[in-house]
A = this chain, B = another copy of it.
């Protein structure tokens, strides 16, 4: 059960609401986000809503069966819209393309990418500056200095910055330079990181854990929301399966499911998902048809020389083709 609290609700009134709900055998969690005040009520008993419905301070009461409550569509029928400013809006009404290199390598690369994205009218640039790597001896990214360069050129061109945060201690230093914090697949159940990202007012792009069930994926989003941040983008990026031809198995089934169960926008990362350059464009188009609200694409001027993930990265010619087709299809979908 989810109770929306009125802005005008005073502490006394709120206490009474909590008391009454607890009496009915529910555990309560008070959640204050940047927008609203909620009381999340967890329990399995039958409840007579009339017993609380008339209490002062309540704006609305919703019965939510899903185990993940705040992210559920059962109470919020309208899709969440995330406004990044400068007319960059993530929503169901316009398909979002975010693109950029796997890792930020140097200023020249940033400038070239920004110029290309500008030409292509792509408004969000991705790029890693902290790189989670299986081996401790691999390149771990340029760090904050890389982010500053990345951010400087994007901001000068009205392009928004999305970059991965790997630990709580990085949040503060990254904050001035990013527009969207990305949580990678290996941190999808790093609950302390999720809790802390719930306390900031910038959107979080949450990648699905490579072995997270969809229910666990939504639970990770619930962590962020219940800590106070409503601006969450879910991103399917491939799961672990027995298949050995691909790095991951991009699970497009997740997309209609997540759109159905949750009000959050759903993105897809076909670059990591299928992991083979030639198959990235068809999988991007497929994800769009499955209902994705946006894609994250790895691009590089010369993928062969990229610092990481070259084998799954589009060059500018391929990226231009993919962008064009995605936009044509979006147009078509609107007319369907």
Contact = CB atoms under 8 A, between A and B. Distances in A.
Interface of A: 27, 29, 40, 42, 67-68, 132-137, 166-169, 186-187, 189-193, 195, 209-211, 213-216, 219, 222-223, 226-227, 239-246, 249-253, 255-257, 260, 273-274, 276, 278-279, 282-283, 285-291, 325, 328-329, 332, 336
A169 B166 contact: no
A82 B209 CA distance: 33
Contact of A134 (B133, B168, B216): B216
Contacts of A336: 325, 328
B222 A136 contact: yes
Contacts of A240: 211, 240, 242
Tell me the number of copies of this protein.
Answer: 4
B278 A260 contact: yes
Nearest to A242: B240
A137 B253 contact: no
A270 to B, nearest CB: 9
Contact of A278 (B192, B211, B219, B256): B256
Contact of A332 (B210, B223, B276, B332): B332
16 contacts: A27-B137, A42-B137, A136-B227, A167-B167, A211-B240, A211-B242, A213-B242, A214-B245, A245-B257, A252-B286, A253-B274, A253-B283, A257-B276, A282-B290, A285-B290, A288-B289
Nearest to A195: B136
